Amino acid sequence: MVSTDFKVRYQGSILGYAWSVLRPLFIFAILYIVFTKFLKIGNDIPHYPVYLLLGIILWSFFTETTSIGMTSIVARGDLIKKISIPRYLVVISGSLSAFINLGLNFIILLLIAYLNHLSILKSWVLLPLIIVELFVFSMACAFFLSALFVKYRDTSYIWEVMLQAGFYATPILYPLALIADKYQKFIMLNPMAQIIQDARWMFVSHETLSSWKILHMPALLVPFLVIIALVLVAIYYFKAQSRYFAENI
């Protein structure tokens, strides 16, 4: 199912699988030119191209995983009605293609890091922990949204607006240092802001404002508690609604 989802997505496209890498690169190129050449933001940030691209890649994974996962049950409606399979496999298979794209994009990130003369840091070994956190958070959202979308199709429009708002509310394009100190703490309570900033600290530069530089106990635990709570709610709601999927699709 993962293989089929990945192939169907680029079926009929001239460039095919290359779009999984080219799309974030095009977004990165446009934003980099606008923010460095016109708005003059990011010139004082060490290795800003890597800093920006890493944020775009992580956010793209979250967007892709949740958007595909949200519609996966409905998209596989015929299969669910004909074959008795665990419903959660449908959501997982639909979202894992985004994980393949994440791996391909990280190869490009390493190339950009090399061209930007980025030094290898010992903290790189911690980066998989952030990827696991991102994956768990994204999948929890995907499971909850997929069950909600079966019953309420307006969910896709609402989520699209929320993603757009979240993109600007999360320090992806702009450095967190531009935000007043009193607001930085509120921004870092957002799990995606915490994930992106901590990943930048681990991969790009230790000068990056990370969650532990801004938040203190117990506020430092809030992003993780939000993810844990979302996982529990998503599991409960998905299980409760899965018995009605076949008749509501």
CB 197 within 8 A of CB 208: yes
| Mean pLDDT to the nearest integer, 239-249 | 77
Helix H or strand E segment including 121:
none
Total count of domains within the chain = 1
CB 82 within 8 A of CB 93: no
Mean pLDDT of the chain: 83
171: preceding bond cis by omega (within 30 degrees): no
Instruction: Report the largest interatomic distance among the alpha carbons of the chain, rounded to a whole angstrom.
Output: 58
What is the crossing angle of helices 127-151 and 48-75, to 10°?
30
Low-confidence winner among 31-35, 69-73, 89-93, 104-108 (lowest mean pLDDT): 31-35
In this prediction the pTM is 0.85
What domain range includes position 95?
2-248
| Mean pLDDT to the nearest integer, 184-212 | 90
**Per-residue model confidence (pLDDT) at position 94:** 72
45 Cβ neighbours under 8 A, 6+ residues apart: 51, 175
